[in-house]
C-alpha cells in the first residue's frame, strides 16, 4: 500500500485505492481462470432478475423488519460469504480433489497455494491494520504520563492510523465481494472449482439465514422466495460447468 494514499488521500481516494488493491488480488486474470463473456452476462442477468423478483415480492407482501432488514441482510451477506467459503471451502476442495483422477491430484494440491495466498491477504490485512492501531493505543496507555511520547503516538494514530482503518474497511468491503465471486482464486486450482463452490456457498448461506427476510405472503410464496435464489444460482453454476466442458474442454475428472 502506498504511504502517500494514507497520508494525503481523502476518504474517496482511499476507497478507490483499496478497490484497485482488492481487485488486483482477487479479480486479476490468471492462467487458470476461464473468462467467458456469455457466462458473465448470464450471471449478471440472474442477479438482476433475482433482485427484481425479491423487490417485487417484498413490495407486494412485505417483510418483517421492513426494507431496513432487507438491506441489512444483504450487507451482512457481503461479509458472511467469504467467511463461509473459508470454513466450508476446504471440505468442498478436498472432495473435489478426491473426485479427480488420482494422477491429477498432486498437481491440484500443488496449486492450493493460490487460494491460500488470497485468504492470507483477506484475513491478514484487516488483522494487521487493526492490530497496529491497537498496539499504538496500548503503548500510549503503558507510557501514560510521558507527554512527549504520548503526543507522538497520538499524532501517528491521527495522521496514519485513522486513514489506515478507513482504507482497511474499504478494502474489506470490496475484497469480500470479489473473494466471494471468484471463490478466493480457486480457478487457479481448477477452472471448474468456482462454479462448484458458488453452488455450495449459496445453499449454506440460505440455510444459515433460514427465514431471514422472507416475504409475509402465502406459504407457496415463502417457499419460492427461499428456494428461488439458491436453485437459480445452482442452475447457472451447472450450466457454467457445461459450457466449460463443451466449449473449453474443462472437465472435473478430465
pLDDT band of 254, cuts 50, 70, 90: low
Look at residue 44 in the predicted model and tell me its pLDDT: 92
Position 5 scores a pLDDT of 57
Task: Give the predicted TM-score (pTM) of the model.
Answer: 0.86
- Mean pLDDT, all residues of the chain: 87
**pLDDT given at position 6:** 57
Please choose, from the candidates 107, 115, 239, 237, the residue with its C-alpha nearest in 3D space to the C-alpha of residue 187: 115
73 has a pLDDT exceeding 80 = no
Mean pLDDT of the 49-58 span: 86
Q: Where does the pLDDT of residue 183 fall: very low under 50, low under 70, confident under 90, or very high at 90 and above?
A: very high
Q: Which three cell numbers stand for residue 46?
A: 440472474
pLDDT score for 212: 61
Give how far Cα 183 sits from Cα of 32, 37, 54, 210, Å. 13, 18, 24, 23
Give the residue carrying C-alpha cell 494514507.
6
Do 9 and 17 touch, CB atoms closer than 8 A? yes
- Which position has the higher pLDDT, 190 or 215? 190
- In three-state secondary structure terms, 215 is strand
Helix pair angle (162-181, 113-142), 10° resolution: 160
Task: Supply the pLDDT for residue 7.
Answer: 53
- Band (pLDDT 50/70/90 cuts) for residue 207 is confident
How much is the pLDDT for 200? 95
At 53 the pLDDT is: 87
Amino acid at each position: 500500500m502506498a504511504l502517500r494514499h494514507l497520508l494525503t488521500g481523502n476518504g474517496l481516494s482511499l476507497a478507490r485505492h483499496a478497490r484497485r488493491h482488492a481487485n488486483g488480488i482477487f479479480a486479476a486474470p490468471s492462467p487458470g481462470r476461464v473468462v467467458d463473456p456469455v457466462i458473465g452476462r448470464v450471471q449478471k442477468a440472474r442477479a438482476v432478475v433475482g433482485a427484481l423478483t425479491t423487490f417485487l415480492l417484498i413490495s407486494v407482501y412485505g417483510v418483517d423488519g421492513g426494507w431496513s432488514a432487507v438491506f441489512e441482510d444483504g450487507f451482512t451477506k457481503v461479509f458472511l460469504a467469504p467467511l463461509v467459503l473459508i470454513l466450508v471451502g476446504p471440505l468442498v476442495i478436498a472432495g473435489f480433489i478426491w473426485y479427480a483422477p488420482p494422477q491429477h491430484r498432486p498437481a491440484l494440491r500443488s496449486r492450493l497455494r493460490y487460494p491460500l495466498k488470497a485468504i492470507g491477504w483477506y484475513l491478514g490485512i484487516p488483522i494487521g491494520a487493526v492490530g497496529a492501531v491497537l498496539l499504538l493505543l496500548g503503548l500510549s496507555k503503558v507510557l501514560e504520563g510521558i507527554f512527549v511520547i504520548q503526543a507522538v503516538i497520538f499524532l501517528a494514530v491521527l495522521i496514519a492510523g485513522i486513514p489506515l482503518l478507513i482504507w482497511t474497511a474499504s478494502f474489506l468491503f470490496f475484497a469480500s465481494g470479489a473473494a466471494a465471486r471468484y471463490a478466493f482464486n480457486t480457478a487457479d486450482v481448477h477452472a471448474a472449482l468456482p462454479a462448484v463452490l458458488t453452488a455450495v456457498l449459496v445453499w449454506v448461506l440460505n440455510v444459515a439465514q433460514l427465514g431471514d427476510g422472507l416475504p409475509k405472503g402465502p406459504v407457496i410464496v415463502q417457499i419460492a422466495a427461499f428456494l428461488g435464489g439458491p436453485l437459480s444460482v445452482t442452475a447457472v453454476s451447472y450450466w457454467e460447468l457445461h459450457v466449460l466442458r463443451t466449449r473449453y474442454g474443462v472437465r472435473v475428472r478430465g
